[in-house]
Structure 1
Amino acid sequence: MTADVPHRSSAVRATDRPGDESPFALGLLLRRAHWQAATVMTEALRPLGIELRHFAVLIVLVDSGPTVQRDLTAATGSDKAGIMRVVDDLERKGLAVRKAVPGDRRVRAVEITPQGIELFDAAHVAAAPLAERLTAALSPGEPERLTDLLTRIAHPAGDEA
Protein backbone atom coordinates (compact mmCIF):
# COMPACT_ATOMS: atom_id res chain seq x y z
CA MET A 1 0.00 0.00 0.00
CA THR A 2 1.34 3.45 -0.81
CA ALA A 3 0.79 6.63 1.09
CA ASP A 4 -1.41 9.33 -0.34
CA VAL A 5 1.36 11.68 -1.35
CA PRO A 6 0.60 14.40 -3.85
CA HIS A 7 2.56 13.77 -7.02
CA ARG A 8 3.54 16.47 -9.43
CA SER A 9 5.77 15.68 -12.34
CA SER A 10 7.19 19.19 -12.20
CA ALA A 11 7.89 19.07 -8.45
CA VAL A 12 10.91 20.91 -7.16
CA ARG A 13 13.21 18.32 -5.67
CA ALA A 14 15.14 19.12 -2.51
CA THR A 15 18.88 19.54 -2.74
CA ASP A 16 21.30 21.68 -0.83
CA ARG A 17 22.82 23.18 -3.94
CA PRO A 18 22.73 26.89 -4.72
CA GLY A 19 19.44 27.90 -6.30
CA ASP A 20 17.37 25.14 -4.68
CA GLU A 21 13.80 26.46 -4.43
CA SER A 22 12.29 23.53 -2.55
CA PRO A 23 10.63 24.10 0.83
CA PHE A 24 13.49 22.04 2.34
CA ALA A 25 16.27 24.25 0.94
CA LEU A 26 16.83 26.39 4.02
CA GLY A 27 16.96 23.40 6.36
CA LEU A 28 19.33 21.53 4.07
CA LEU A 29 21.63 24.52 3.75
CA LEU A 30 21.59 25.06 7.52
CA ARG A 31 22.48 21.39 7.99
CA ARG A 32 25.42 21.65 5.57
CA ALA A 33 26.59 24.88 7.23
CA HIS A 34 26.28 23.17 10.64
CA TRP A 35 28.46 20.30 9.46
CA GLN A 36 31.11 22.74 8.27
CA ALA A 37 30.96 24.73 11.50
CA ALA A 38 31.08 21.57 13.61
CA THR A 39 34.13 20.36 11.69
CA VAL A 40 35.96 23.64 12.32
CA MET A 41 34.96 23.78 15.99
CA THR A 42 35.94 20.12 16.49
CA GLU A 43 39.36 20.99 15.09
CA ALA A 44 39.65 23.85 17.60
CA LEU A 45 38.61 21.68 20.56
CA ARG A 46 40.68 18.58 19.75
CA PRO A 47 43.99 19.93 21.15
CA LEU A 48 42.14 20.81 24.37
CA GLY A 49 41.03 17.20 24.83
CA ILE A 50 37.28 17.75 24.55
CA GLU A 51 34.58 17.26 21.95
CA LEU A 52 31.64 19.44 20.88
CA ARG A 53 29.29 17.49 23.15
CA HIS A 54 31.48 18.40 26.13
CA PHE A 55 31.69 22.02 25.06
CA ALA A 56 27.90 22.20 24.67
CA VAL A 57 27.52 21.29 28.34
CA LEU A 58 30.21 23.78 29.37
CA ILE A 59 28.32 26.50 27.48
CA VAL A 60 25.17 25.77 29.48
CA LEU A 61 27.10 25.73 32.76
CA VAL A 62 28.80 29.04 32.01
CA ASP A 63 25.53 30.61 30.90
CA SER A 64 23.20 29.19 33.55
CA GLY A 65 25.41 28.25 36.47
CA PRO A 66 24.93 24.92 38.26
CA THR A 67 22.39 22.91 36.29
CA VAL A 68 20.65 19.62 37.01
CA GLN A 69 21.31 16.85 34.50
CA ARG A 70 17.66 16.78 33.37
CA ASP A 71 17.99 20.43 32.31
CA LEU A 72 21.32 19.75 30.61
CA THR A 73 19.58 17.09 28.56
CA ALA A 74 16.96 19.59 27.38
CA ALA A 75 19.45 22.42 26.83
CA THR A 76 21.82 20.35 24.69
CA GLY A 77 19.29 18.23 22.82
CA SER A 78 20.94 15.12 24.18
CA ASP A 79 19.44 12.12 25.91
CA LYS A 80 19.73 11.11 29.57
CA ALA A 81 22.40 8.46 28.99
CA GLY A 82 24.40 10.76 26.71
CA ILE A 83 24.43 13.57 29.26
CA MET A 84 25.51 11.17 31.99
CA ARG A 85 28.48 10.08 29.85
CA VAL A 86 29.43 13.67 29.03
CA VAL A 87 29.22 14.76 32.67
CA ASP A 88 31.26 11.69 33.67
CA ASP A 89 33.90 12.74 31.12
CA LEU A 90 33.89 16.34 32.35
CA GLU A 91 34.27 15.17 35.96
CA ARG A 92 37.15 12.84 35.03
CA LYS A 93 38.89 15.76 33.33
CA GLY A 94 38.30 18.04 36.33
CA LEU A 95 36.16 20.42 34.26
CA ALA A 96 32.88 19.97 36.16
CA VAL A 97 31.59 18.48 39.40
CA ARG A 98 28.27 17.10 40.54
CA LYS A 99 26.91 18.59 43.74
CA ALA A 100 23.89 17.75 45.87
CA VAL A 101 20.87 20.00 45.44
CA PRO A 102 19.66 21.32 48.79
CA GLY A 103 16.24 19.91 49.62
CA ASP A 104 16.40 16.99 47.16
CA ARG A 105 18.89 14.22 47.89
CA ARG A 106 18.08 12.43 44.62
CA VAL A 107 19.05 15.32 42.33
CA ARG A 108 22.54 16.51 41.56
CA ALA A 109 23.50 19.76 39.90
CA VAL A 110 26.50 19.96 37.60
CA GLU A 111 28.83 22.89 38.17
CA ILE A 112 31.79 24.05 36.10
CA THR A 113 35.14 24.12 37.91
CA PRO A 114 37.81 26.82 37.69
CA GLN A 115 39.74 24.44 35.40
CA GLY A 116 36.60 24.17 33.26
CA ILE A 117 36.38 27.96 33.00
CA GLU A 118 40.04 28.10 31.93
CA LEU A 119 39.43 25.49 29.23
CA PHE A 120 36.24 27.27 28.13
CA ASP A 121 38.19 30.51 27.67
CA ALA A 122 41.06 28.70 25.93
CA ALA A 123 38.60 27.12 23.51
CA HIS A 124 37.41 30.56 22.42
CA VAL A 125 40.97 31.70 21.79
CA ALA A 126 41.73 28.52 19.81
CA ALA A 127 38.50 28.78 17.80
CA ALA A 128 38.79 32.42 16.73
CA PRO A 129 41.16 31.98 13.76
CA LEU A 130 39.42 28.78 12.67
CA ALA A 131 35.98 30.40 12.86
CA GLU A 132 37.15 33.10 10.47
CA ARG A 133 37.51 30.36 7.83
CA LEU A 134 33.76 29.77 7.98
CA THR A 135 32.99 33.27 6.79
CA ALA A 136 36.06 33.92 4.63
CA ALA A 137 33.95 34.00 1.45
CA LEU A 138 31.61 36.67 2.85
CA SER A 139 31.96 40.40 2.26
CA PRO A 140 32.59 42.89 5.05
CA GLY A 141 29.51 43.15 7.27
CA GLU A 142 28.00 39.89 6.02
CA PRO A 143 29.21 37.72 8.92
CA GLU A 144 27.43 40.05 11.33
CA ARG A 145 24.32 40.05 9.14
CA LEU A 146 24.37 36.24 8.96
CA THR A 147 24.68 36.04 12.74
CA ASP A 148 21.73 38.40 13.12
CA LEU A 149 19.56 36.38 10.72
CA LEU A 150 20.44 33.05 12.31
CA THR A 151 19.80 34.48 15.77
CA ARG A 152 16.33 35.58 14.70
CA ILE A 153 15.61 32.11 13.29
CA ALA A 154 16.99 30.31 16.38
CA HIS A 155 15.37 32.71 18.87
CA PRO A 156 12.12 34.07 17.40
CA ALA A 157 10.61 37.17 19.02
CA GLY A 158 9.21 36.23 22.40
CA ASP A 159 11.42 33.13 22.67
CA GLU A 160 12.88 33.19 26.17
CA ALA A 161 15.66 30.66 25.43
Structure 2
Amino acid sequence: MSQDGPGVDLPTSIGYLLKETATALRTAMEAVLRPLGMTVTHYSCLELLAQRPGSSNSELARGTFVTRQSMNVLLQTLERDGVVTRPSEARSGRVMPAQLTERGRRDLAAATAAVRGVEDRMLSDLDEDDRAAARRLLQSMVRSLRGADPTPAASGPQDDDAG
Protein backbone atom coordinates (compact mmCIF):
# COMPACT_ATOMS: atom_id res chain seq x y z
CA MET A 1 0.00 0.00 0.00
CA SER A 2 1.37 3.38 -0.97
CA GLN A 3 0.74 6.54 1.02
CA ASP A 4 0.39 8.41 -2.27
CA GLY A 5 -2.55 6.40 -3.61
CA PRO A 6 -5.56 4.49 -2.46
CA GLY A 7 -4.85 1.42 -0.39
CA VAL A 8 -6.96 -1.47 0.76
CA ASP A 9 -10.24 -0.48 2.39
CA LEU A 10 -9.76 -2.51 5.58
CA PRO A 11 -13.41 -2.58 6.69
CA THR A 12 -14.42 -4.22 3.39
CA SER A 13 -11.28 -6.26 2.65
CA ILE A 14 -12.15 -9.97 2.86
CA GLY A 15 -8.52 -10.84 3.61
CA TYR A 16 -8.34 -8.35 6.46
CA LEU A 17 -11.69 -9.50 7.87
CA LEU A 18 -10.57 -13.14 7.71
CA LYS A 19 -7.36 -12.30 9.59
CA GLU A 20 -9.31 -10.28 12.15
CA THR A 21 -11.73 -13.20 12.60
CA ALA A 22 -8.91 -15.74 12.90
CA THR A 23 -7.15 -13.59 15.49
CA ALA A 24 -10.34 -13.10 17.52
CA LEU A 25 -11.09 -16.84 17.35
CA ARG A 26 -7.58 -17.79 18.44
CA THR A 27 -7.69 -15.30 21.33
CA ALA A 28 -11.05 -16.66 22.51
CA MET A 29 -9.83 -20.27 22.19
CA GLU A 30 -6.64 -19.52 24.11
CA ALA A 31 -8.72 -17.94 26.88
CA VAL A 32 -10.80 -21.11 27.40
CA LEU A 33 -7.90 -23.52 26.88
CA ARG A 34 -5.42 -21.76 29.20
CA PRO A 35 -7.23 -22.88 32.40
CA LEU A 36 -7.01 -26.44 31.06
CA GLY A 37 -3.24 -26.08 30.65
CA MET A 38 -3.44 -26.09 26.86
CA THR A 39 -2.66 -23.91 23.88
CA VAL A 40 -4.49 -23.96 20.57
CA THR A 41 -1.68 -26.04 19.05
CA HIS A 42 -1.82 -28.52 21.96
CA TYR A 43 -5.60 -28.86 21.54
CA SER A 44 -5.34 -29.16 17.75
CA CYS A 45 -2.74 -31.90 18.10
CA LEU A 46 -5.00 -33.91 20.42
CA GLU A 47 -7.99 -33.41 18.12
CA LEU A 48 -5.99 -34.61 15.11
CA LEU A 49 -4.74 -37.66 17.01
CA ALA A 50 -8.30 -38.54 18.02
CA GLN A 51 -9.43 -38.34 14.40
CA ARG A 52 -6.25 -39.81 12.87
CA PRO A 53 -4.61 -42.16 15.39
CA GLY A 54 -1.04 -43.04 14.57
CA SER A 55 -0.30 -39.74 12.83
CA SER A 56 3.35 -38.90 12.39
CA ASN A 57 5.11 -35.81 13.66
CA SER A 58 5.09 -34.35 10.13
CA GLU A 59 1.37 -35.00 9.64
CA LEU A 60 0.57 -33.38 12.98
CA ALA A 61 2.79 -30.38 12.21
CA ARG A 62 1.01 -29.80 8.88
CA GLY A 63 -2.41 -30.17 10.49
CA THR A 64 -1.65 -27.74 13.29
CA PHE A 65 0.25 -25.21 11.15
CA VAL A 66 3.56 -25.40 13.02
CA THR A 67 7.01 -26.63 12.07
CA ARG A 68 8.06 -30.26 12.52
CA GLN A 69 10.55 -29.12 15.13
CA SER A 70 7.85 -27.35 17.17
CA MET A 71 5.58 -30.38 16.91
CA ASN A 72 8.38 -32.66 18.05
CA VAL A 73 8.88 -30.51 21.17
CA LEU A 74 5.14 -30.57 21.86
CA LEU A 75 4.92 -34.36 21.37
CA GLN A 76 7.84 -34.91 23.73
CA THR A 77 6.03 -32.82 26.37
CA LEU A 78 2.72 -34.60 25.79
CA GLU A 79 4.47 -37.96 26.02
CA ARG A 80 6.25 -36.97 29.24
CA ASP A 81 2.89 -35.82 30.69
CA GLY A 82 1.20 -39.12 29.79
CA VAL A 83 -1.15 -37.60 27.19
CA VAL A 84 0.24 -39.46 24.17
CA THR A 85 2.35 -42.53 23.59
CA ARG A 86 4.86 -43.18 20.84
CA PRO A 87 7.01 -46.23 20.20
CA SER A 88 10.50 -46.03 21.67
CA GLU A 89 11.96 -46.80 18.24
CA ALA A 90 10.76 -46.09 14.73
CA ARG A 91 9.40 -49.18 12.99
CA SER A 92 10.56 -47.92 9.61
CA GLY A 93 12.49 -44.80 8.73
CA ARG A 94 12.10 -42.13 11.38
CA VAL A 95 8.29 -42.18 11.74
CA MET A 96 7.12 -42.63 15.34
CA PRO A 97 3.30 -42.64 15.21
CA ALA A 98 1.54 -41.07 18.19
CA GLN A 99 -1.59 -42.29 20.00
CA LEU A 100 -3.75 -40.64 22.65
CA THR A 101 -3.70 -42.21 26.09
CA GLU A 102 -6.77 -42.41 28.32
CA ARG A 103 -5.63 -39.18 29.97
CA GLY A 104 -5.25 -37.62 26.51
CA ARG A 105 -8.84 -38.56 25.65
CA ARG A 106 -10.09 -37.03 28.92
CA ASP A 107 -8.09 -33.83 28.35
CA LEU A 108 -9.40 -33.64 24.80
CA ALA A 109 -13.03 -34.05 25.91
CA ALA A 110 -12.74 -31.08 28.27
CA ALA A 111 -10.97 -28.95 25.65
CA THR A 112 -13.45 -29.87 22.93
CA ALA A 113 -16.36 -28.73 25.10
CA ALA A 114 -14.61 -25.43 25.80
CA VAL A 115 -13.75 -24.82 22.14
CA ARG A 116 -17.25 -25.80 21.02
CA GLY A 117 -18.57 -23.06 23.32
CA VAL A 118 -16.33 -20.51 21.61
CA GLU A 119 -17.45 -21.63 18.17
CA ASP A 120 -21.11 -21.54 19.23
CA ARG A 121 -20.60 -17.97 20.46
CA MET A 122 -18.90 -17.01 17.19
CA LEU A 123 -21.80 -18.41 15.15
CA SER A 124 -24.62 -17.35 17.48
CA ASP A 125 -26.01 -14.70 15.09
CA LEU A 126 -26.11 -17.10 12.13
CA ASP A 127 -28.93 -19.50 11.30
CA GLU A 128 -28.14 -22.95 9.89
CA ASP A 129 -28.39 -21.77 6.26
CA ASP A 130 -25.90 -18.95 6.95
CA ARG A 131 -23.55 -21.39 8.71
CA ALA A 132 -23.68 -23.78 5.73
CA ALA A 133 -23.08 -20.88 3.34
CA ALA A 134 -20.12 -19.66 5.40
CA ARG A 135 -18.56 -23.16 5.34
CA ARG A 136 -19.01 -23.41 1.56
CA LEU A 137 -17.55 -19.94 0.97
CA LEU A 138 -14.52 -20.51 3.19
CA GLN A 139 -13.84 -23.93 1.63
CA SER A 140 -14.08 -22.36 -1.82
CA MET A 141 -11.60 -19.64 -0.84
CA VAL A 142 -9.12 -22.22 0.45
CA ARG A 143 -9.45 -24.28 -2.75
CA SER A 144 -8.93 -21.19 -4.90
CA LEU A 145 -5.79 -20.17 -3.02
CA ARG A 146 -4.32 -23.67 -3.00
CA GLY A 147 -5.08 -24.28 -6.65
CA ALA A 148 -4.96 -27.93 -7.57
CA ASP A 149 -3.28 -29.00 -4.30
CA PRO A 150 -6.02 -30.39 -2.01
CA THR A 151 -3.55 -31.16 0.81
CA PRO A 152 -4.39 -29.50 4.16
CA ALA A 153 -1.86 -26.84 5.12
CA ALA A 154 -0.39 -26.93 1.64
CA SER A 155 0.97 -23.45 2.20
CA GLY A 156 3.39 -24.89 4.76
CA PRO A 157 3.61 -24.67 8.52
CA GLN A 158 3.80 -21.50 10.46
CA ASP A 159 5.21 -21.23 13.93
CA ASP A 160 2.69 -18.95 15.66
CA ASP A 161 2.42 -21.26 18.67
CA ALA A 162 5.01 -23.84 19.50
CA GLY A 163 2.78 -25.47 22.01
- Normalised by the length of structure 1, the TM-score is 0.74
Instruction: From the CA coordinates, give the structure whose radius of gyration is larger.
Output: 1
Match among 14, 29, 32 for residue 8 of structure 2: 14
Matched, 1:39 2:20: no
CA separation in 2, counterparts of 1:114 and 1:49?
17
Structure with the higher fraction of residues in strand conformation:
1
Aligned residue in 2 for 1:123: 111
Q: Which has the higher contact order (CA 8 A, sep 6+)?
A: 2
* Residues 84-142 of structure 1 deviation map (CA, whole Å, 9 limit, x = unaligned): 221122123321122233234x4322222122122222222222333222123435632
Aligned residue in 1 for 2:56: 68
CA separation in 1, counterparts of 2:3 and 2:37?
51
CA separation in 2, counterparts of 1:125 and 1:117?
12
**C-alpha displacement of 1:143:** 2.6
- Normalised by the length of structure 2, the TM-score is 0.73
What secondary structure, in the 3-state scheme, does the structure 1 residue paired with 2:86 have?
Answer: strand
Against the structure 1 CA distance between its residues 142 and 82, is the aligned structure 2 distance closer, same or farther, given a 3 Å change threshold?
Answer: same
Paired-residue identity, %? 21
Aligned residue in 2 for 1:52: 40
Match among 67, 75, 79 for residue 67 of structure 2: 79
What secondary structure, in the 3-state scheme, does the structure 1 residue paired with 2:10 have?
Answer: coil
Alignment: residue pair count: 148
Match among 79, 95, 99 for residue 111 of structure 1: 99
RMSD of Structure 2 on Structure 1 (CA)? 2.7
Unaligned runs of 5+ in 2: 153-163
The answer to whether the 8 Å contact 1:36/1:134 transfers is no
